[in-house]
Amino acid sequence: MLKVRNLHARVAGREILRGIDLSMNRGEVHAIMGPNGSGKSTLARVLSGHPEYEVTDGEILFEGENLLEMEPEERARAGVFMAFQYPVEIPGVNNAYFLKAALNTMRRHRGEEELDAMEFMTLVRDRMKQLDVDETLLSRPVNEGFSGGEKKRNEIFQMAVLEPKLGVLDETDSGLDIDALKVVAHGVNAMRSADRSFLVVTHYQRLLNYIVPDFVHVLTDGRIVRSGSKELALELEEKGYGWLEEPVGSSKV
Amino acid sequence: MAHSLEQYKQAFTNARRPPGESSDLAQTREAALNRFLTLGFPTTRDEEWRFTSVAPIAERAFALPQTSPAARHRDIAPLRSADVFGAELVFVDGRLAPALSTADALPRGVRVGSLGDFTAGHADGIASHLARVAQFDRRPFVAFNTAFFADGAYIHVPAHTIVEKPIHVVFVSTGETNGRPAMSHPRVLAVLGDDSQAAVVESYAGPDGAEYFTNVVTEIVLGQNAVLDHYKLQHESAQAYHVGTIVLETGRSASCTSHSISLGGALVRNDVIAILAGEGGECTLNGLYLADGQRLIDNHTTIDHAMPHCGSREIYKGILADRARGVFNGKIIVRPDAQKTDAKQTNRALLLSEDAQVNSKPELEIFANDVKCTHGAAVGQLDQDAVFYLRSRGLDLAEARHLLIHAFAGDVLNRMPLVPVRNGVEEVLQRQLAHALAAAA
């Protein structure tokens, strides 16, 4: 599903990613862990096509297509969803209106019929219940005045409505209390399927108790220095990132 | 005297006036003409006109249409919606077109009609308010209008009367007269008695591509506890010149909201002067403007707190594309007597291109000591993070920009209580926006 080869990227002239290799199959959940400044979030943003991040070398194939040649909206339509670490507030844009526009754009792209207002509300109510999202959130402007937890939940809620092939979760757990974390994890787990993959970027092992990954990769200084099973996360929790300071070269799964 | 002024002196002599006009009004017109000839067209040396050169207006030889060609129904139809309005008056080149107008669904005692007809009949309110509310001594365009207005709308709501359905006055220009660009000087006088309530919508339009000049003066007087919801929808052709002055005066505990929407015109100047002349009065001024190409839209507002315990709210927003320019000047005066004034002004502009610009200036003149006055101004571009966020959800760049600009404008539009009017404005805005964005792409 996703193949990242020798990915180099920089932001504001500073090189952050220095040769990432990563391969994900359908249905897999991969966790990216690493200390602050290691490049975890940069990797997520490069995947989503953020204009401030410049790819200087390497390639990303998504379902065989060159992701780097696609505009952000083309990536979204192809099935890549980014749950942002800091979702932006958009005053004046109604959440329901926005989400319906986004969903119908995706559906058009997939050759499916657009949903009318009734069908949309039925779908949305179901997903809201699943994620314990308050219905008043729909009539509010996108993320405006939302608490940190509400913003994160709203991201996962959007993902549940848009049903991507690949969900990229950028530190979705940061700033969440344990109850909110469980709700978010439950939402992600409910979406897990043989066709859908997740890339979970996190600083803490805690989230991975609830979203259990198939593989864990450790990113340090712009490179993947360790890859392993979910036990690797526990090891990191115990020992910290210090013992990984010397990169041992990239490893593939 | 400049050549252009000389020609208007000639035109004044030949101008056709409503029959039976009083000698008082004839004298006022004479005085206004003389004042206009003395003041001349303003220049950018005049502080009030620093950022707006009216040279294109001063240099053209506009002609007064002597007989108005009948405007075609289909040109006016999009502006009208008979089921929404209790009365609709259509003026073509400043003169009432009775065949296109209706005024059936009004409560007893409410008068809506041609100012010309009423001046001849000496209706109450006209003699005491016309040319008094809007003084022409220091305002050349008001003087110009006062000398030349051929007709206009007179709206009188008696005390204790609620007009449920809004009143619509439509001013349509036909564009040209005898091969010269036409000018018209529409006039509106709205007088609301004590404890009355009404909504009044003014619309301005002309044929696409036509060059003409509209110079309107609106005078509004609100009695005690009167409530008015007022709209000015300026949808002139993109080649038209539009200068408009609204002066409104509120009585004790009266409340007036005036929405000014400027989506058309090549060179536009709107002046709104609100005088809170009675204790406890309230006024709200909302404005939205959009310009692209090389168009210029200038909004000058003055809120004059003359009495205590009055409140004012003001929000103006502008969208500027290409090489368009916007000017906003918001003056708030708090007179020595106006203790407990509560005034708030916000003004924002969205620049869609690097060449677009806005000159924005708040002016607070406060002479009382127990008052609350705030103002805020911001000029910016579209939030790139928001654009990216929307794109990351599948909307393309154009859709994302459109949605964000619409949200920016929605902040003003959503404050318009008349839903059909708001929807109509949204429609025009969408069209203009699509045009502005297509040109920018």
> Which residues in chain A touch residue B392, judged by CB atoms under 8 angstroms apart?
48-49, 72-73, 75-76, 82, 84
Which tens digit of pLDDT belongs to each residue from B128-184?
899 999 999 999 999 999 999 989 999 999 999 999 999 999 999 988 877 889 999
Per-residue CA distances from B11 to A88, B27, B136, B174 (Å): 59, 17, 19, 19
> Which residues in chain B touch residue A51, judged by CB atoms under 8 angstroms apart?
384, 388
Among all residues of chain A, which has the CA nearest to that of B409? Answer: A92
User: Could you give the CA distance from residue A208 to residue B370 in angstroms, rounded to a whole number?
Assistant: 59
Task: Find tokens 């003389």 and name the residue.
Answer: B34
User: Could you give the CA distance from residue A147 to residue A160 in angstroms, rounded to a whole number?
Assistant: 20
Nearest-CA distance B408 → chain A (Å): 7
Q: Do B394 and A106 make contact, defined as CB atoms within 8 angstroms? A: yes
Q: From the candidates A52, A88, A158, A159, which should be mutated to test the interface with B, based on the most B CB atoms within 10 A?
A: A88
pLDDT in tens, chain B (441 residues): 566 788 999 899 888 787 778 888 899 999 999 999 999 999 999 999 999 999 999 999 999 887 655 656 556 666 667 688 999 999 998 889 888 888 877 999 999 999 888 776 666 678 889 999 999 999 999 999 999 998 999 999 999 999 999 999 999 998 887 788 999 999 999 999 999 999 999 999 999 889 999 999 999 999 999 999 999 999 999 999 999 999 999 999 999 999 999 999 999 999 999 999 999 999 999 999 999 999 999 999 999 999 999 999 999 999 999 999 999 999 999 999 999 999 999 999 999 999 999 999 999 999 999 999 999 999 999 999 999 999 999 999 999 999 999 999 999 999 999 999 999 999 999 999 988 888 766
Nearest-CA distance B2 → chain A (Å): 50
The two three-digit tokens of residue B21, written as one number = 């006009």
Q: Do B389 and A98 make contact, defined as CB atoms within 8 angstroms? A: no
User: Could you give the CA distance from residue A156 to residue A137 in angstroms, rounded to a whole number?
Assistant: 13
Which among A72, A101, A158 has the least Cβ separation from residue B388?
A: A72
Q: From the candidates B288, B350, B388, B399, which should be mutated to test the interface with A, based on the most A CB atoms within 10 A?
A: B388
Among all residues of chain B, which has the CA nearest to that of A47? Answer: B392
Q: From the candidates B382, B389, B406, which should be mutated to test the interface with A, based on the most A CB atoms within 10 A?
A: B389
User: Could you give the CA distance from residue B156 to residue A42 in angstroms, rounded to a whole number?
Assistant: 66
User: How large is the average pLDDT for residues A201-214?
Assistant: 92
Q: What is the DSSP string of B48-106?
A: GGTT---HHHHHS--B--SSPPPPPHHHHGGG--TTT-SEEEEEETTEE-GGG-B--S-
Nearest-CA distance A83 → chain B (Å): 10
pLDDT recorded at residue A170: 95
Which among A50, A93, A142 has the least Cβ separation from residue B388?
A: A50
Q: Do A49 and B392 make contact, defined as CB atoms within 8 angstroms? A: yes
User: Could you give the CA distance from residue A210 to residue A186 in angstroms, rounded to a whole number?
Assistant: 8
Nearest-CA distance A235 → chain B (Å): 34
Which among B385, B395, B411 has the least Cβ separation from residue A101?
A: B395
The two three-digit tokens of residue B227, written as one number = 């409530």
Beta strand B282-291 with A65-66: parallel, antiparallel or unpaired?
unpaired
With beta carbons less than 8 A apart as the criterion, state whether B162 and B127 touch.
no
Number of Cβ pairs < 8 A linking chain A and chain B = 74
- Say whether B406 sits in a helix, a strand or coil: helix
Which among A75, A82, A102 has the least Cβ separation from residue B395?
A: A102
Which among A76, A88, A141 has the least Cβ separation from residue B394?
A: A76
User: Could you give the CA distance from residue B217 to residue B214 in angstroms, rounded to a whole number?
Assistant: 10
User: Could you give the CA distance from residue B191 to residue B133 in angstroms, rounded to a whole number?
Assistant: 11
Interface residues from chain A to B (CB-CB < 8 Å): 48-51, 71-73, 75-77, 82, 84, 87-88, 90-93, 98-99, 101-102, 105-106, 109, 141-142, 158, 162
Which among B384, B394, B407 has the least Cβ separation from residue A92?
A: B407
φ and ψ of B295, to 5 deg: -75, 155
Which among B393, B408, B410 has the least Cβ separation from residue A76?
A: B393
With beta carbons less than 8 A apart as the criterion, state whether A202 and A118 touch.
no
Helix/strand/coil (H, E, C) string of chain A? CEEEEEEEEEECCEEEEEEEEEEECCCCEEEEECCCCCCHHHHHHHHHCCCCEEEEEEEEEECCEEHHHCCHHHHHHHCEEEECCCCCCEEEEEHHHHHHHHHHHHHHHCCCCCCCHHHHHHHHHHHHHHCCCCCHHHHCEECCCCCHHHHHHHHHHHHHHHCCCEEEEECCCCCCCHHHHHHHHHHHHHHCECCEEEEEEECCCCHHHHCCCCEEEEEECCEEEEEECCHHHHHHHHHCCHHHCCCCCCCCC
Among all residues of chain B, which has the CA nearest to that of A95? Answer: B390
pLDDT recorded at residue B14: 85
Q: Which of residues 368-427 of B touch A (CB under 8 A)?
A: 383-386, 388-397, 399-400, 403-404, 406-408, 410-411
Q: Do A48 and B392 make contact, defined as CB atoms within 8 angstroms? A: yes
pLDDT recorded at residue B428: 92
Which tens digit of pLDDT belongs to each residue from A117-150?
999 999 999 999 888 888 888 889 999 999 888 8
Among all residues of chain B, which has the CA nearest to that of A168? Answer: B392
Domains of chain A: 2-244 (3.40.50.300)
> Which residues in chain B touch residue A48, judged by CB atoms under 8 angstroms apart?
392
> Which residues in chain A touch residue B385, judged by CB atoms under 8 angstroms apart?
88
Q: Do A90 and B389 make contact, defined as CB atoms within 8 angstroms? A: yes
Helices B140-148 and B3-14 sit at what angle, rounded to 10 degrees?
30
Q: Do B403 and A98 make contact, defined as CB atoms within 8 angstroms? A: yes
Q: Do B394 and A73 make contact, defined as CB atoms within 8 angstroms? A: yes
Nearest-CA distance B437 → chain A (Å): 19
Sheet arrangement for strand A29-33 = A80-83, A166-170, A197-202, A29-33, A215-220, A223-228
- Name, in order, each residue with C-beta under 8 angstroms of A171's C-beta and a sequence gap of 6 or more: A40, A41, A85, A201, A202, A203
Nearest-CA distance A169 → chain B (Å): 13
Selection from A151, A198, A145 nearest residue A176 by Cα: A151
Quick one: pLDDT band at residue A251, thresholds 50, 70, 90? very low
The two three-digit tokens of residue B69, written as one number = 């060609």
Q: Which residues pair with A9 in a beta bridge?
A: A17, A55
- ipTM for the complex? 0.94
Among all residues of chain A, which has the CA nearest to that of B401? Answer: A93
Q: Do A102 and B388 make contact, defined as CB atoms within 8 angstroms? A: no
Q: Do A98 and B388 make contact, defined as CB atoms within 8 angstroms? A: no
Which tens digit of pLDDT belongs to each residue from A17-56?
999 999 999 999 999 999 888 999 999 999 999 999 999 9
